């Protein structure tokens, strides 16, 4: 039985995991239609071999063409449309970087094997259980519900502003009509009745202005609470899952859901901002003592702008951490003068921003590292973000031709000698840009997880040990002095990471018996009494 056939027979909770990582990585339609062919190819080898990856990509497109011919005969219009779109997407996206698709398919197959193994042998460490619980957290569902509610409230307020505008136009017309009359006509009984009517309209206008401002205040308050108490926590959870996935843990997902929430919230806040601008127009045409627009609008506009600034700044994220294509399973370890890739995404997807945002990459910007070594980035370090043509789409940019270069030491310096081993020095790659939209100019900046710079592949195992230790025990994305005093790990954490490492390479983790055997080998027969493990120990068993 093929691996894909086994996957389709899994329980629903495991199928949801499969659906999540395919949604973020590779079209499931292609996986389904080409199941046997995909499983018969060596994608892992191709991920480190560009000529082989190029041939596999060409063969993949040929296989899709054959499927198109078949479904064309069956006259399945929807499937024909989807396959044409997918083929165009794959060819356009990976033609210049065929190893990337080899990495993606290899990771998908490996994750399938991991899920199949978990379904037949449900042994999980405490960290993996915690991560899986957070993926389907109640807070995530609440965030999606509240974002939709805020969007609906903003749209309803839009109707209220339109009604207020119509009401004020009517008042303005009737008031100017009275003003144009002769003095004698103004003293007539009908005119006095009209003046009473105008006063009632003015009272209604005042009431409606207060009502609209109250509704806007409620939308702004709910947006503030949602963003700071729930949405940013969801983003932090995603970043933590990304850290764990980088060191072999379960593949992370959920970025598309976050993008949807960030985008809807930004659209709602911009809608409220336009409504406040409309109120300002109404204010220039009519104002009076105690006018609520005059009193409340400046403060509300300031709050909306502040929320938009913070929302945009939080939405600029590293979607895929720095990684050398030659070592896809060991991200954040970079070799000097070797190209690496990194992908960024803006979680606020607005068409007006397409190709407008230019991102600049730098290394160790405004950071005092514990190393005497200094680096510069060579290659294309400024690129524009654009709309990804994938199914869900995103505003993203991928740097594929960056490479770190060590700067020559100045006279009298110690060269590469620093207070720590080279493989324990942490560096940071930063990205900055600026967004200009609807009169707002917002500076954005984000940084990768700490990376280790090596000059020889013999340093790779120890560097990888440093990356594992950091991402296992630190949630701080910029603690570059982490190894000045590295914390200890529990034995259970250490064993869980070992299981992940096996799973990363063979698609299957370790069962309890195998983990106990490894613990005894590493710590001796008294391993059950061991609680903490110091970092230098990891450098040894990862060599």
- Report the distance separating Cα 39 and Cα 115, nearest Å: 16
Of 330 and 189, more confident: 330
Whether the predicted pLDDT of 183 surpasses 70: no
Q: 3-122: what CATH class?
A: mainly alpha
- Best-predicted range by mean pLDDT among 232-246, 369-383, 390-404? 232-246
Average pLDDT of span 269-281? 96
- Report the distance separating Cα 120 and Cα 209, nearest Å: 63
CATH, range 138-314: 1.20.1050.20
Average pLDDT score, the chain: 85
The model's pLDDT over 436-452, given as tens digits with 9 standing for 90+, comes to: 999 999 999 999 999 99
Whether residue 337 contacts residue 364, with contact meaning beta carbons closer than 8 Å, is answered with no
Whether residue 118 contacts residue 508, with contact meaning beta carbons closer than 8 Å, is answered with no
- Name the pTM for this structure: 0.79
| Helix/strand/coil for 333 | strand
CATH classification of 324-456, choosing from 2.60.40.630, 3.40.50.2300, 3.40.50.720, 3.40.50.9100? 2.60.40.630
- Report the distance separating Cα 87 and Cα 30, nearest Å: 9
Whether residue 328 contacts residue 44, with contact meaning beta carbons closer than 8 Å, is answered with no
- Report the distance separating Cα 503 and Cα 515, nearest Å: 13
Q: Are strands 489-490 and 316-323 parallel, antiparallel or unpaired?
A: unpaired
Q: How many CA atoms lie within 13 A of 446 on its CB side?
A: 21
Whether residue 68 contacts residue 88, with contact meaning beta carbons closer than 8 Å, is answered with no
- Report the distance separating Cα 29 and Cα 346, nearest Å: 27
CA distances to 342, 372, 429, 455 from 409, in Å: 28, 9, 20, 15
Domains in the chain: boundaries: 3-122, 138-314, 324-456
Residue among 487, 492, 473 nearest 535 (CA): 487
Q: What is the pLDDT of residue 500?
A: 85
Average pLDDT of span 114-143? 65
The distance in angstroms from the start CA to the end CA of the chain is: 37
Strands of the sheet containing 358-363, edge to edge, are: 382-384, 358-363, 429-437, 440-447
DSSP-assigned states of every residue in 399-422: EEEEEEEEPPPPTTS-TT--SS-G
Q: What is the pLDDT of residue 413?
A: 47
- Report the distance separating Cα 23 and Cα 29, nearest Å: 11
The model's pLDDT over 508-532, given as tens digits with 9 standing for 90+, comes to: 778 888 888 888 887 777 666 556 6
Radius of gyration of the CA atoms of the chain, in A: 30
Q: What is the pLDDT of residue 541?
A: 37
Q: Residue 289: is it exposed, middle or buried by C-beta count within 10 angstroms (0-12/13-18/19+)? A: exposed
Residue 384 is inside which H or E element, if any?
A: strand 382-384
Of 382 and 109, more confident: 382
Residue among 320, 222, 341, 314 nearest 259 (CA): 314
Share of the chain above pLDDT 90, in %: 45
Whether the predicted pLDDT of 417 surpasses 60: no
Whether residue 83 contacts residue 66, with contact meaning beta carbons closer than 8 Å, is answered with no
- Report the distance separating Cα 322 and Cα 429, nearest Å: 8
DSSP secondary structure code for residue 451 in this structure: B
Displacement of CA 375 from its chain's centroid (Å)? 27
| Range of weakest confidence among 144-158, 278-292, 359-373 | 359-373
Torsion of CA 43, 49, 51, 53, to 10 degrees: 20
Q: What is the pLDDT of residue 412?
A: 46
What's the pLDDT band for 319 if we cut at 50, 70, 90? very high
What's the pLDDT band for 185 if we cut at 50, 70, 90? low
Q: What is the pLDDT of residue 229?
A: 87
Average pLDDT of span 109-133? 68
Average pLDDT of span 61-74? 86
Quickly count: other Cβ atoms within 10 Å of residue 404's Cβ: 25
């Amino acid at each position: 039985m093929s691996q894909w056939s086994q996957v389709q027979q899994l329980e629903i909770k495991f199928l949801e995991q499969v659906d999540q990582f395919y949604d973020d990585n590779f079209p499931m339609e292609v996986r389904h239609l080409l199941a046997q062919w995909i499983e018969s190819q060596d994608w892992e080898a191709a991920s480190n071999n560009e000529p082989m990856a190029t041939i596999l990509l060409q063969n993949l497109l040929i296989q899709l063409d054959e499927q198109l011919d078949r479904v064309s005969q069956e006259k399945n219009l929807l499937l024909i449309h989807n396959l044409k779109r997918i083929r165009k997407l794959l060819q356009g996206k990976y033609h210049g970087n065929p190893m990337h698709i080899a990495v993606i398919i290899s990771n998908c197959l490996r994750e399938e094997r991991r899920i199949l193994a978990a379904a037949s042998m449900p042994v999980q460490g405490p960290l993996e259980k915690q991560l899986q619980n957070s993926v389907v957290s109640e807070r995530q569902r609440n965030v999606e519900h509240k974002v939709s509610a805020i969007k609906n409230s903003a749209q309803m307020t839009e109707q209220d502003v339109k009604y207020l505008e119509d009401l004020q136009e009517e008042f303005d017309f009737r008031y100017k009509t009275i003003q144009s009359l002769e003095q004698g006509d103004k003293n007539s009984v009908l005119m006095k009745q009209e003046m009473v009517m105008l006063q009632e309209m003015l009272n209604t206008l005042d009431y409606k202005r207060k009502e609209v401002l109250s509704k806007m205040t409620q939308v702004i308050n709910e947006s503030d609470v949602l963003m700071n108490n729930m949405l940013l926590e969801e983003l932090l959870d995603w970043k933590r899952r990304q850290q764990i996935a980088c060191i072999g843990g379960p593949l992370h997902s959920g970025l598309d859901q976050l993008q949807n929430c960030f985008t809807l919230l930004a659209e709602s806040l911009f809608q409220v901002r336009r409504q406040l601008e409309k109120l300002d127009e109404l204010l220039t045409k009519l104002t009076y003592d105690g006018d609520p627009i005059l009193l409340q609008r400046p403060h509300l506009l300031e709050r909306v702008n502040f929320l938009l600034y913070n929302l945009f700044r939080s939405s600029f994220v590293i979607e895929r951490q720095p990684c050398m294509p030659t070592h896809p399973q060991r991200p954040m370890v970079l070799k000097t003068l070797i190209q690496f890739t990194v992908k960024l995404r803006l979680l606020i997807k607005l068409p007006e921003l397409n190709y407008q945002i230019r991102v600049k990459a730098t290394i160790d910007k405004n950071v005092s590292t514990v190393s005497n070594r200094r680096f510069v980035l060579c290659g294309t370090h400024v690129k524009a973000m654009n709309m990804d043509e994938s199914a869900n789409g995103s505003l993203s940019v991928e740097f594929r031709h960056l490479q770190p270069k060590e700067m020559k030491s100045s006279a009298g310096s110690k060269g590469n000698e620093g207070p720590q081993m080279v493989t324990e020095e942490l560096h940071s790659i930063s990205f900055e840009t600026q967004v200009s939209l609807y009169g707002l100019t917002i500076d954005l900046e984000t940084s990768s997880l700490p990376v280790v710079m090596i000059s020889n592949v013999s340093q790779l195992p120890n560097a990888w040990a440093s990356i594992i230790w950091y991402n296992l025990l630190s949630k701080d994305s910029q603690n570059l002095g982490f190894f000045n005093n590295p914390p200890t790990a529990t034995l259970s954490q250490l064993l869980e990471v070992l299981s992940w490492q096996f799973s990363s390479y063979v698609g299957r983790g370790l069962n309890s018996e195998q983990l106990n055997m490894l613990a005894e080998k590493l710590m001796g027969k008294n391993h059950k009494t061991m609680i903490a493990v110091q970092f230098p120990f990891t450098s040894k068993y990862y060599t």
